[in-house]
Amino acid sequence: MEVKELKAAFKETYNKNAEAVYFSPGRVNLIGEHTDYNGGFVFPCALSFGTYLLMSKNSDKKMRFKSLNQPEIVELELDQLTTPLEGRSWVNYPLGCIAQFVKRGIKIEEGYDMLIWGNVPNGAGLSSSAALEVVTAYAFNEQLGTGYDRTELAKIGQLSEHEFALVNCGIMDQFASAQGKKDHAIFLNCDTLQFELVPVKLQGVKVVISNTHSPHKLDSGAYNARVAECKTAVEQLNKVRPLKYLAELTEEEFKNVESAITDEVAHKRARHVVGEVQRTTDAVKALKAGDIEAFGKLMNASHVSLRDDYEVTGLQLDTMAEEAWKIEGVIGSRMTGGGFGGCTVSLVKDEAIDTFVAEVGKNYKAKTGLDAEFYIAEIGDGACRVE
């Protein structure tokens, strides 16, 4: 939808004009999966599609939430802003962000009418939830005059996910949505939150996102289980080597101490994390050197590790990646996001894109019964005020 259409929808919903329009993007992670909550490196970029938030103050001191994807308006009093709604309501994502302002001692004394719409495919693993969190944090940061920087807004979004959506996610998704820059990816150290914006210059190559249409559900418990398994690995490693995060270990160091991890599943999870941190570092070096072929091989290796050691892929994602690997002109392909469904990300030469879409789509449907959807990714900017 165009902004003018969203403004018309706001007026139809609330019988007044929107006073402000905000936007925050979804993201795709090029490499570095399940490393963020393990203190490692990630390499995401913001996308050109995301979530819009239109808002206007009201005189009756109520918070009203309306999504164009939902039939009802959820209305809350100002003294209800720190309690999650029951039933995993979508409102918990923006509400959890507003709650963080209140918990920081910020007084909210006025009500707001809000209208939300996004074009990030839900359940695709492209961070529709982070886009919703960050656009809310960005909007209220401006409306309340709190002056938080973009990194703090990412932290607010992450805490919303932890406390209101009950997903123990890392910082990557919210950070990419807040800090993204057009035609750049973010090389982020998730422990220190130091980051570098790296130009993504792909001569004759496009980033293609392939949606399996097998929705991923991070709140299903499997994601939180992986977080717990990594904590188990850290606890057992601490008997022989003090550390806070798995990402502190080089591959060489890990080989020297891995026998301390007696839990077989935790050992596999740790092996993925340590290897993925190294792959991400190597991939960024390759991109800077213009060695796209090396970058692609590291993407492929990332998927194999996520399949075999982290076990977050499954039939749909594996089929999508494996079919991509068969196409001449595909430099690399891997699952992206939390896994358990969602999308793959591929580097595809321009002349191979039509073949890629046709062949991968056909073979994927033959093996899974599902129709795939493909997007040529445009790397966009982070959160902003549109009007």
How do residues 228-238 score in pLDDT, each as one tens digit? 999 999 999 99
Contact between 290 and 331 under an 8 Å Cβ cutoff? The reply is: no
Average pLDDT (367-385) is 95
pLDDT for the residue 169: 87
Backbone phi and psi for residue 369, each to the nearest 5 degrees, phi listed first: 80, 5
> Do the domains 205-376 and 3-199 match in fold?
no
Render pLDDT for 14-44 as a digit per residue (tens, 0 to 9): 999 999 999 999 999 999 999 999 999 999 9
pLDDT of residue 296: 97
Query: Model's pTM, two decimal places?
Result: 0.93
The single residue of 79, 113, 149, 173 carrying the catalytic annotation is 173
pLDDT of 122 over the 90 cut: no
Whether residue 173 lies in the annotated active site: yes
The two structure tokens encoding residue 277: 């941190």
The 8 Å CB, 24+ separation contacts for 324-328 are: 324/210, 324/356, 324/360, 325/300, 326/359, 326/363, 327/352, 327/355, 327/356, 327/359, 327/360, 328/352, 328/355
Q: What average pLDDT score do residues 313-324 get?
A: 97
Does residue 279 have a pLDDT over 70? yes
pLDDT at 217: 61
Q: For residues 283 and 339, which has the higher predicted lDDT (pLDDT)?
A: 283
In the predicted model, what is the mean pLDDT of residues 143-166?
96
pLDDT for residue 345 is more than 80: yes
pLDDT, residue 156, reads 98
**Angle 162-164-170 (CA atoms, 0-180°, nearest 5)?**
20
| Annotated domain spans of the chain | 3-199, 205-376
Which residue pairs, CB below 8 angstroms and at least 24 apart, start in 233-241? Answer: 233/261, 233/263, 233/266, 233/267, 233/269, 233/270, 236/260, 236/261, 236/262, 236/263, 236/266, 237/261, 237/270
CA–CA distance, 72 with 75 (Å, rounded to integer): 9
pLDDT of 283: 97
pLDDT of 126 strictly over 70: yes
Q: Return the CATH architecture of domain 3-199.
A: 2-Layer Sandwich (3.30)
Lookup: tokens for 361? 């789509």
Give Cα separations from 76 to 16, 81, 82, 349 (angstroms): 19, 7, 11, 50
242, pLDDT greater than 70: yes
* Confidence band for 72, pLDDT divided at 50, 70 and 90: confident
Quickly name the fold that domain 205-376 has.
Answer: Alpha-Beta Plaits (3.30.70)
Confidence of residue 219 (pLDDT cuts 50, 70, 90): low
What span, in angstroms and rounded, lies between the C-alpha atoms of 334 and 208? Answer: 11
